[in-house]
Amino acid sequence: MRKIIIGNWKMNPGSLKEAQVIFNDILKMVKGLKNTEIIICPPSLFLSIGDKLKIKNISLGAQNVFEEMNGAYTGEVSTKMLSSLGVKYVILGHSERRNLGETNKIINKKILATLKEKLLPILCIGENTRDNNGFYLAFIKHQIIECLANIPKAQIKNIIIAYEPIWAIGDKAINEATKDEFIEIQIFIKKIIADIYDIKTANTIKIIYGGSVHSSNAKEFIDGGADGLLVGRDSLSPKKFKEIIEIIK
């Protein structure tokens, strides 16, 4: 299975010119790359950097989308708009969006809208804290069940699930997550999918890791069975991003 490396630029960089320079540098280093798919998710205003993109193993992704196709929704962006710009993937349910008030039910509507437009959702899940009683597992289960409500079995293979433990993200991280902690969640996610659908369907889903990924921990999670990585800050540095790609390759 091809490994997936997603670069989430968040609200960076500061200009279209800077975004184009970073993207062009990434394009140069992924030419000829095999068995790895690179997905770059810039701010929506900068999606034009991928205009006329023809390299097979790199795709454009969006960081969010609205659940309605059109209408009086000031400031929102629809799946059809993203599709017209050559976008293939959409990050949904990122912890930073959830902190702004997005619920599982809203995320579910966005997944349904994304699949309807034949775009591929990257569903982010993850707990705020870990406890000794295993309540975090119930929290994750609730996220998955609500976010995947009414998703047809045939569509599950088109969804990537990104596990991002919030306690391991950013400058305020409590600890770094370990390979064993990822493996536990990976098995748990597949069990939930198997319970909702069946084992065969559970084995088709791609599960990646996305909690403060950098070159010093990338190999650990890939060795732990991750189908790929969701990279934040280091995806804005072509040099650091290349180091991660080389490790995965």
DSSP H stretches of helix in 2-78: 16-30
Kindly report, residue by residue over 175-211, the tens digit of the pLDDT: 789 999 999 999 999 999 999 999 999 999 999 999 8
CATH number of the domain at 116, please.
3.20.20.70
Tell me, what amino acid is at 227? D
Asked if residue 247 is part of any domain, the answer here is: no
Asked if residue 246 is part of any domain, the answer here is: no
pLDDT band at 238 (very low <50, low <70, confident <90, very high): very high
Asked if residue 249 is part of any domain, the answer here is: no
Predicted pLDDT of residue 33: 83
Considering its fold, how many domains does the chain have in total?
1
Asked if residue 1 is part of any domain, the answer here is: no
Asked if residue 245 is part of any domain, the answer here is: no
142 classed as catalytic: no
Bridge partners, 123 (sequence order): 92, 161
164 classed as catalytic: yes
Asked if residue 2 is part of any domain, the answer here is: no
Predicted pLDDT of residue 121: 98
Asked if residue 244 is part of any domain, the answer here is: no
pLDDT band at 57 (very low <50, low <70, confident <90, very high): confident
Q: Single out the catalytic residue among 67, 96, 127, 164.
A: 164
Asked if residue 124 is part of any domain, the answer here is: yes
Kindly report, residue by residue over 130-180, the tens digit of the pLDDT: 998 889 999 999 999 999 999 999 999 999 999 999 999 876 667 789 999
Q: Single out the catalytic residue among 37, 67, 94, 127.
A: 94
Q: What is the mean pLDDT of residues 108-137?
A: 96
- Taking alpha carbons only, the member of 229, 135, 223, 216 closest to residue 180 is 223
Residue 53 has pLDDT above 70, yes or no: yes
**Could you list the residue range(s) of the whole structural domain that residue 222 is in?**
7-237
Find out whether 242 and 28 touch, Cβ atoms under 8 Å. no
